[in-house]
Amino acid sequence: MNITTSIPITGNQLNVNNVWARLEQEYKKDVVSDGTGISDLLNMIGRARVGSSAFTYVKDVCKYAKLEGTDTVVVTLDIFVWPSSMSLEYDIKVDLGTISSTQVMVEDRSFDVVFEGTNKVDLPYIFDGKFTPQMPFISPTGVRLLNINVVPYKTYVTTDKDVFCVLRANGTVSGYRHTVTMALDKSGEDDKEYKIENLQNTVVITWLDENGEEQSDSLQLEIPPCVEGMLDTCDNGLLVGVIGCLGRDCDGKDMYVVYYNSCDGEPILERWEKNE
Amino acid sequence: MSINLNTTFAINLSAIPLNPEGIILEQKDFSSGTGYTTKMDLVTGLYNNLYNTDMGGNIDCGIEENSYNSAMYVYPFNKELVFSTGLTWGNIGEGFQENITVTEQLQFSLDKEQTVKYPVQELISATWFNGLVWDSTGKTAIPPDITVVSNNVSLPIEVYGTVTVKYKTFRHVYAIDIPARDTSDGTAYQSVGYVWWNGGVKMLVLQPPVGAEEDEKSGVNCLGRSIVHTLPSDDLPVPPGEQDNTTILINYCLQQEM
């Protein structure tokens, strides 16, 4: 699993305390939204060309939610805890649902570290690897510097003078993964479903800093659009799809019908029916 | 007092030399819509696919063969400044020089100093909007002289008013080509442009076209990606509102409206 870090790391980003922790959600809402794409449309065209129904094309199954039974949507979202030390003890809580115990995570990562006239840049996670200069070391007065020592520490990197420079970090980052699980009941009165809107959930982590004072970080979870779709009302739960007369005389006498659940796209029943 | 609205008021181009230090560093903007696919592009693409045609389209991913092209602009405050340039990742061209004309509007709200964006090499015009300014009592006043030094625009008195400043600035242009690194962690195109001279350094984090990092991570481009970027204005069209019927009478012989 790879995590996007599109913004290079610059100096003085994090708190100055030596003991810290940072929350990050695995799912990132970005410009690449979860809408219908060209490949979805081409898939539907392909299905129609071979006599299947474009209607019954189901986009990628939402990997963050699934239907359990007929009324319960179970949502699972992963978060990361990036601590200043792997021995940091912390408490983690979530407003809604449950949160799993820690799972140690070590992942490959590469990114730029930018020095802008400083001699220290904090890193957002525990990093173990190499730092390679990508340009000459230049002093704030525009003088090229030679023989600059780059000294990496677990959560920051230093140079022996104030410099302008970019280092490329290549190595591994270490932290913890937790899974937040929410079981949301959509059943209402008279067996009618209702929709769940504006789902909000916040994770809070607390720890003691080097002075023994409690510190915290919180994260409001980003809800993926496909999850919001699963939480929406499923009117009648059915949608009829019609497939062309595959392998049969297409004289309009009958048609192949697929009934599927419009909430999760799972086919419920497929059969030939008279076109009356 | 009558005011000629088209008058360019007295301008004092200061004899003080431009700020000898300092550089403005910028990246060239991508063309509007780069990295986005509009619904019309989508329909055109589907039409081409269904009917084996090549209607062409306006999709520009901004990425070609796993690299993107852009440019770095260096605006020195001192035209004679000697400096060096570089990129932390990618290729930078030889560079050439050019003068461009820039128009900006400055809003004075009872202050005496504003700045334009770039160093001014030659002031072409500075025109007060409608030829009007107001003093602190709200009364109209005589538009004051404007003094331009480097990129500072200053007035001798505090007034309310809007002035449109048109000026020439000088810049160096460096073509850049940023290829994708062999990595799938979303940092394939990370690069920093830098300029240094005797006296200072400037750095600029370069930005790839929208969606480029995600596409590189997924192994597709914006034509074949499974997710389509759409412009905010590309949403469903607003249904037309109700309008009154209009009757227009035309003289058929004269083909003129009666």
What is the distance between the alpha carbons of residues B173 and A81, in angstroms, rounded to a whole number? 44
Q: pLDDT value at position A130? A: 94
Partner residue opposite A31 with nearest CB, options B50, B224, B229: B229
pLDDT value for A120: 95
Tokens of A87: 């021995």
Q: How close, in Å, is residue A101 to chain B by CA atoms?
A: 26
Provide the 3-class DSSP secondary structure of residue B130. helix
A177: tokens are 């993964």
Mean of per-residue pLDDT scores for chain B: 79
- What pLDDT is recorded for position A83? 95
Q: Is the torsion defined by CA of A157, A158, A164, A166 positive or negative?
A: negative
Cα dist. B43→A59, B59, B214 in Å? 19, 12, 23
> Is the per-residue pLDDT at B21 higher than 90?
no
CA pair distance B114, B146, nearest whole angstrom: 11
Return the structure tokens found at B151: 């990129």
Q: Number of H helices and number of E strands within chain B?
A: 2, 15
In the prediction, which pLDDT does A96 show?
92
Helix segments in chain A, DSSP class H: 38-49, 225-231
Spell out which residues of chain B touch residue A134, defining contact as CB-CB under 8 Å.
Answer: 88-89, 192
Helix (H) or strand (E) holding B45: helix B39-51
CB A126 within 8 A of CB A192: no
Is the Cβ pair B183, A112 closer than 8 Å? Answer: no
Tokens 């699980």 correspond to A181
Q: Are A138 and A97 in contact (CB under 8 A)?
A: no
Higher pLDDT, A186 or B101: B101
- The pLDDT > 70 percentage for chain B reads 69
Spell out the long-range contacts of A102-107 with Cβ–Cβ below 8 A and sequence spacing 24 or more.
A102/A176, A102/A177, A102/A178, A103/A176, A103/A177, A103/A178, A104/A174, A104/A176, A104/A177, A105/A80, A105/A174, A105/A175, A105/A176, A105/A177, A106/A172, A106/A173, A106/A174, A107/A1, A107/A2, A107/A3, A107/A172, A107/A173
Contacts of B196 in chain A (CB under 8 A): 138, 142, 144, 164
The per-residue pLDDT string of chain A (276 residues; one tens digit each, 9 = 90 and over) reads: 333 334 566 654 444 458 999 999 988 765 444 555 566 666 667 766 676 666 556 555 677 887 777 678 889 999 999 999 999 999 999 999 999 999 999 999 999 999 999 999 999 999 999 999 999 999 999 999 999 999 999 899 999 999 999 999 999 999 999 999 999 887 766 655 667 778 889 999 999 998 999 999 999 999 887 787 777 765 544 444 444 444 444 455 666 665 555 555 556 566 666 655
What pLDDT score does B131 carry?
87
User: Does the beta-carbon distance from A2 to B89 stay under 8 Å?
Assistant: no
- Shortest distance, CA A6 to any CA of chain B (angstroms): 5
Residue B206 confidence (pLDDT): 96
pLDDT of residue A4: 33
Q: With CB atoms and an 8 Å threshold, state whether B227 touches A37.
A: yes
B193 close contact with A: CB closer than 8 A: no
Bigger pLDDT: A155 or B234? A155
Judge: B186–A142 Cβ closer than 8 Å, yes or no: no
Reported ipTM: 0.70
Q: When comparing pLDDT for B234 and A3, which is higher?
A: B234
**Identity of residue A62:** C
CA–CA separation, A32 and A11 (whole Å): 29
pLDDT at A257: 62
pLDDT band for position B167 (50/70/90)? very high
Segment of A96-105, A237-246, B137-146, B248-257 carrying the highest mean pLDDT:
A96-105
Quick one: pLDDT band at residue B104, thresholds 50, 70, 90? Answer: very high
pLDDT band at B130 (very low <50, low <70, confident <90, very high): confident
What's the pTM value of the predicted model, to 2 decimals? 0.71
Beta carbon pairs, A and B, within 8 Å: 117
Residue B211's φ and ψ, nearest 5 degrees, are 85, -5
* B1-14: pLDDT as tens digits: 333 333 334 344 43
Q: A144–B196: do the CB atoms touch at under 8 Å?
A: yes
pLDDT for residue B63? 80
* Residue of A6, A140, A142 with shortest CB distance to B197: A142
Whole-number pLDDT of residue A79: 95
Please determine, for residue B19, whether its predicted confidence score (pLDDT) is greater than 50. Answer: no
Residue A207 bridge partners (DSSP) = A90, A215
Q: Which of A46-50, B67-71, B190-194 has the lowest mean pLDDT?
A: A46-50
Q: Give the end-to-end CA distance of chain A in Å, rounded to a whole number.
A: 52
Half-sphere exposure of B16 (CA within 13 A, CB side): 11
Which among A138, A142, A156 has a CA at the least distance from the CA of A15? A156
The reported pLDDT for the residue numbered B88 is 96
For residue B131, the 8-state DSSP code is G
Is pLDDT above 70 for B247? no
In this predicted structure, what is the pLDDT of residue A256?
Answer: 63
Is B70 in contact with B176 (CB distance < 8 Å)? yes
pLDDT for residue B207 is more than 90: yes
CA distance A172 to chain B (A): 12
Residue B30 DSSP symbol: P
* pLDDT tens figures, B169-189: 999 999 999 999 987 777 899
d(CA B59, CA B223): 8
